[in-house]
Amino acid sequence: MQAIVETLFDAVYLCTVLTIGIRMIAKSQNSQYRLFGIMAVVLGLGDSFHLMPRALERV
């Protein structure tokens, strides 16, 4: 049960971070807002490298 909840949490987390980051980049009016969007996308991509293999291992 814990593996299922953790996998769902990881998936929701990654989707949320990447979606928010992409929307921030797309709607950026100034360079600082765009920078925070890029930082969010980099965070999401970096986390996906260790969260996705764990999720695939459980399936």
Domain residue extents for the chain: 2-58
pLDDT at 59 over 90: no
pLDDT grade for 5, boundaries at 50, 70 and 90: very high
What SS3 state is found at 48? helix
> The whole model's pTM is what?
0.89
Query: Rounded CA gap, 20 and 1, in Å?
Result: 29
23 vs 57, which has greater pLDDT?
23
Q: Provide the token pair at 36.
A: 């925070």
